[in-house]
Amino acid sequence: MLAGLAAQSLTVSATQTMAAFATAAVVLVALLVTASVVVSLVSSDTLRPVRLTGGAVRRWSGFVLIVVGIWFLLLAVLPGPVLGA
């Protein structure tokens, strides 16, 4: 979103650019506040399944982080043509 606003700022006036950034900031803050209020108002019955699956989520997220780490190591060690770059 910010990349699009930055690109737009090259083609329009400073006033329009500031209005676009201010609008984006207001929308982002409104979304974050709304999300936090909704999460705080959710009942414990709704959160019970989320709490019960926490262990599985931790295991899978650990596996994903290990795979991504190995991928980054391969990108750093192997030359570009080996990976099709």
How far is residue 72's CA from residue 56's CA, in Å, rounded to a whole number?
A: 24
> What are 35-77's pLDDT values in tens digits?
998 888 887 777 788 788 888 888 899 999 999 999 888 888 8
Q: CA gyration radius for the chain? A: 22
How far is residue 26's CA from residue 1's CA, in Å, rounded to a whole number?
A: 13
How far is residue 52's CA from residue 66's CA, in Å, rounded to a whole number?
A: 23
**50 token code pair:** 């989320």
How far is residue 21's CA from residue 1's CA, in Å, rounded to a whole number?
A: 10
How far is residue 80's CA from residue 34's CA, in Å, rounded to a whole number?
A: 44
Q: How high is the pLDDT of residue 44?
A: 73
